[in-house]
Copies of this chain bind each other. A is one copy, B any other.
Amino acid sequence: MAEITAKPTENHLLALLPAEEYAAVVRHLEPCAIPRGFTIVEADATIEHVHFPCSGIGSVINISPEGNRVEAGLFGRDGFAPVAAAIGANISISEVAVQVPGFSYRLRRTELLDLMRTQPVFADLLHKSVHVLATQAGFTALSNAVHEINERLARWILMCHDRIDGNELALTHEFIAVMLAVRRPSVTTALHVLEGNHFIRSVRGLVIVRDRAGLEDFASDAYGKAEDEYERLIGPLRRRKR
């Protein structure tokens, strides 16, 4: 991993900047490999850097006082994190961790704030991103409340699939279980159900998407609204169903 091949414009937010703003921002960007398991920021910790991924996936994880964890949202080259920095906070209440390794450009929190003061399109995009993540969290709340595990898993795989190249996700059941806040064997059996429908193939440490349209159908009620909001406010996100 970690050859520095990606350009900043592979991040959707950076790509949407007009030339002058892009030039102003890019001077402060620092290329950065984000390996699996890397913690971009810990819960309740001071934010040093903000990351704009070009590849890979990060999760926003909320942690309760007793240590229960659940993913509230997920981002890749469509966004940035930790979002709290963009509204002036120096502490992130959520943990942000890398689940699919990739490559990002990072910016010091203080520089981000300076840039937002002088670059209005940049500031606007970041604010929109905060709202889109809020929407995602809201629909995660819905899904957690009303959908059963199979659907929630399908939704989650689709959200990951939107943010990677190819169809392979290197993820263990244990890891998925933490994100969905369910029991690990429940993930195993749910993956079997999806595999039985030929939507995916599941092998040790790997989930392979085979029939995205089928998955979308299966997840139907759980997937889509948050993605609509992203596309309405920022730009294309979803993969076509091929």
- Tell me whether A141 and B64 are in contact (CB under 8 A): no
The oligomer's copy count stands at 2
Q: Find chain B residues with CB under 8 A from A128 CB.
A: 87-88
- Tell me whether A94 and B138 are in contact (CB under 8 A): yes
Shortest C-beta distance, A121 to chain B (Å), equals 11
Q: Is A108 in contact with chain B by the CB < 8 A criterion?
A: no
| From B71, B133, B181, contact of A134 by CB (8 A) | B133
- Tell me whether B65 and A225 are in contact (CB under 8 A): yes
| From B60, B66, B93, B144, contact of A144 by CB (8 A) | B144
Chain A, interface residues (CB within 8 Å), range: 35 or more
Q: Is A171 in contact with chain B by the CB < 8 A criterion?
A: no
Report the nearest B residue to A133, measured CB to CB.
B134
Q: How many Å lie between the Cα of A65 and that of B83 in the bound state?
A: 28
Q: Find chain B residues with CB under 8 A from A87 CB.
A: 124, 127-128, 130-131, 233
Going nearest first, the 8 A-B pairs with the smallest beta carbon separation are A134-B134, A72-B138, A145-B181, A137-B137, A141-B141, A144-B144, A144-B145, A140-B141
